[in-house]
């Protein structure tokens, strides 16, 4: 699964018009706006402030008695590291650890916070810093930086830390407006009880509790499904993409690809088996110091496609960034076929296969993600017969590039890459799990052609240079792209026609 300073998630991880906001019972200029162009102030008349205190997110917190919620109720990851060094090493520097501090996410969040009149703190923060939202300690500094910055106490600023996940005791699925996991529909229960998937775990430091939800993709869906809090449009639906996939049909969960090494994830996708069912999985080890040997020990880097942000924020290549690059380069394949048309005209068909992602390619904020085809057809003498999808000098894609993503619009039908403005997709060209999409190109052969060479490449980047310039400032960064896969093949030409009997497939 590929989940999102260039992702965001990313530059992940991993992201118009000003939107006025009607708050409380008084009137405001936003009352004149159509309802679907506003961010919901609450979750509707069915829920009180006591039931859903962090609206429009669905986060709730349980505590013993009436304790005041402070960040100190959650354990610092540095403490967890003393008994769980392997898990800490994977998490530290990952997109989960950078979920709050990711500068691109913060820039997008800051713009949204201003344009919605201050109504995105809970909506965005509940997934990027649940501790910060639960304790009310996130501060928006509107005058700092280009658009504003967010700060939080140290534990809250560590994003999705160990104790965020391991104090989750349930889900508020049944309270969401769409009756599906999403928008941080989690129940947190901070304290000495840590919840996970082992039924016989014993710790000298804390209590343990078996939690079946921790081994289900439903757990991930609480944040990896995001719907607009007013119009309910599914802005991000990674969980739903998995839920209706062949992976889900075979019982394969998010964790089976994202909490194992990439080589194991490749086997899971190719064999459609869970890691525990693979022969010679080589995943054994110790969950904690002094604990028993386990057949499977889960990694906690949760590697997706976020190769760049982890490297930039850590100042060097990390295991997470290298694994992310490896994952991106192993997930798709390309096939090519050429068919003669009239005269010297030929049609090149390129098929892009989603071989190993348990969700669509791309996923998450598909209105900002870019996966595209670069195609080059070269004649005998090196003359270019066809070129498409090569980045221009301004690092933007040329018109006519075949791109796999979604085109989002606001209530007025105007293109937008701002999640809070999205009302619908005009076009969605993402590739489903184990599915494919095809693109057709036309080119003419010179009359004296003997051979031609066709080079196709599939590229990925988190978003466009234009969006990077908006979020971080003009020329603050040069948005990098990753070459996911390349297919290169030479064809013989006879009597003015390319001779090809079958589709030529790329190899991972």
* Residue 9: cis peptide before it, omega within 30 degrees of 0: yes
Structure tokens at 137: 């300690």
DSSP 188-199: E--SSEEEES-S
Beta strands (DSSP E) in 129-264 are 139-141, 149-151, 168-171, 186-188, 193-196, 207-210, 225-227, 234-237
What pLDDT, on the 0 to 100 scale, is given for residue 18? 31
**Helix or strand or coil: residue 335?**
strand
What pLDDT, on the 0 to 100 scale, is given for residue 507? 52
Model pTM score: 0.90
Class of domain 332-505: mainly beta
DSSP label at residue 384: E
Measured over the CA atoms of residue 274, residue 278, residue 283 and residue 288, the dihedral's sign is positive
Residue 135 near residue 70 (C-beta atoms within 8 A): yes
Q: CB neighbours of 109 closer than 8 A, spacing ≥ 6?
A: 120, 124, 128, 150
Interatomic CA distance for residues 247 and 239, integer angstroms: 12
Burial of 240 (0-12, 13-18, 19+ CB in 10 A): buried
What pLDDT, on the 0 to 100 scale, is given for residue 316? 56
Alpha helices, H only, 315-372:
319-328
CA 43 → CA 52, 57, 94, 220, distances in Å? 8, 8, 32, 22
Measured over the CA atoms of residue 141, residue 142, residue 144 and residue 146, the dihedral's sign is positive
CA proximity to 385, closest of 446, 469, 317, 473: 446
**Helix or strand or coil: residue 442?**
strand
What pLDDT, on the 0 to 100 scale, is given for residue 330? 97
Residue-level pLDDT, tens digit, the chain, 508 residues: 444 333 333 333 333 333 333 333 333 333 334 444 578 655 554 678 888 999 999 999 998 876 789 999 999 999 999 999 999 999 998 999 999 999 999 999 999 999 999 999 999 999 999 999 999 999 999 999 999 999 999 999 999 999 999 999 999 999 999 999 999 999 999 999 999 999 999 999 999 999 999 999 999 999 999 999 999 999 999 999 999 999 999 999 999 999 999 999 999 999 999 999 999 999 999 999 999 999 999 999 999 887 766 566 655 555 677 888 999 999 999 999 999 999 999 999 999 999 999 999 999 999 999 999 999 999 999 999 999 999 999 999 999 999 999 999 999 999 999 999 999 999 999 999 999 999 999 999 999 999 999 999 999 998 899 999 999 999 898 999 999 999 999 999 998 999 875 555 665 5
DSSP label at residue 318: -
Interatomic CA distance for residues 304 and 218, integer angstroms: 18
Q: CB neighbours of 130 closer than 8 A, spacing ≥ 6?
A: 59, 160, 164, 184, 186, 188
What are the extents of the domains in the chain?
48-237, 332-505
Interatomic CA distance for residues 157 and 150, integer angstroms: 9
What pLDDT, on the 0 to 100 scale, is given for residue 48? 84
């Amino acid at each position: 699964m590929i989940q999102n300073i260039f992702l965001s998630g990313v530059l992940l991880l991993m992201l118009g018009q000003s939107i006025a906001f009607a708050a409380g019972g008084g009137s405001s200029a936003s009352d004149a706006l159509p309802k679907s162009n506003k961010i919901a102030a609450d979750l509707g008349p069915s829920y009180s402030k006591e039931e859903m205190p962090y609206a429009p997110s669905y986060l709730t917190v349980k505590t013993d008695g009436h304790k005041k919620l402070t960040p100190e109720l959650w354990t610092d990851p540095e403490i967890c590291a003393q008994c769980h060094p392997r898990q800490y090493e994977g998490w530290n520097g990952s997109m989960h650890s950078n979920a709050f501090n990711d500068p691109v996410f913060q820039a997008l969040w800051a713009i949204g916070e201003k344009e919605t009149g201050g109504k995105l703190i809970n909506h965005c923060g509940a997934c990027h810093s649940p501790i910060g939202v639960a304790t009310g300690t996130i501060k928006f500094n509107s005058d700092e930086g280009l658009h504003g910055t967010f700060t939080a106490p140290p534990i809250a600023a560590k994003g999705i830390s160990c104790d965020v996940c391991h104090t989750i005791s349930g889900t508020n699925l049944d309270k969401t407006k769409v009756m599906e996991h999403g928008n941080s529909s989690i129940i947190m229960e901070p304290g000495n009880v840590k919840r996970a998937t082992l039924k016989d775990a014993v710790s000298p430091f804390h209590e343990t509790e078996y939690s079946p939800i921790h081994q289900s993709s439903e757990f991930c869906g609480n944040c990896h499904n995001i719907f607009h809090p007013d119009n309910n449009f599914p802005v991000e639906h990674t969980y739903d993409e998995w839920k209706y996939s062949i992976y889900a049909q075979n019982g394969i969960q998010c964790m089976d690809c994202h909490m194992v090494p990439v080589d194991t994830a490749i086997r899971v996708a190719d064999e459609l088996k869970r890691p525990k069912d693979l022969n010679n999985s080589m995943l054994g080890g110790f969950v904690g110091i002094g604990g028993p040997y386990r057949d499977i020990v889960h990694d906690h880097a949760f590697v997706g496609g976020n190769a760049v942000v982890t490297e930039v924020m850590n100042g060097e290549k990390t295991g997470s960034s290298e694994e992310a690059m490896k994952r991106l380069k192993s997930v798709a394949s390309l096939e090519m076929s050429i068919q003669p048309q009239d005269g010297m005209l030929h049609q090149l068909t390129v098929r892009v296969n989603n071989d190993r992602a348990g969700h669509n390619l791309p996923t998450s904020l598909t209105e900002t993600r870019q996966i595209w085809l670069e195609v080059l057809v070269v004649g005998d003498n090196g003359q270019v017969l066809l070129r498409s999808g090569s980045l221009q000098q301004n690092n933007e894609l040329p018109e006519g590039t075949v791109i796999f993503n979604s085109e989002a619009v606001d209530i007025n039908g105007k293109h937008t890459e701002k999640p809070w403005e999205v009302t619908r997709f005009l076009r969605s060209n993402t590739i489903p799990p184990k599915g494919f999409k095809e693109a057709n190109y036309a080119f003419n052969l010179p009359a004296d052609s003997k051979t031609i060479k066709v080079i196709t490449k599939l590229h990925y980047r988190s978003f466009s240079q234009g969006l990077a310039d908006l979020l971080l400032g003009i020329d603050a960064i040069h948005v990098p792209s990753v070459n996911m896969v390349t297919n290169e093949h030479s064809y013989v030409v006879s009597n003015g026609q390319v001779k090809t009997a079958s589709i030529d497939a790329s190899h991972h």
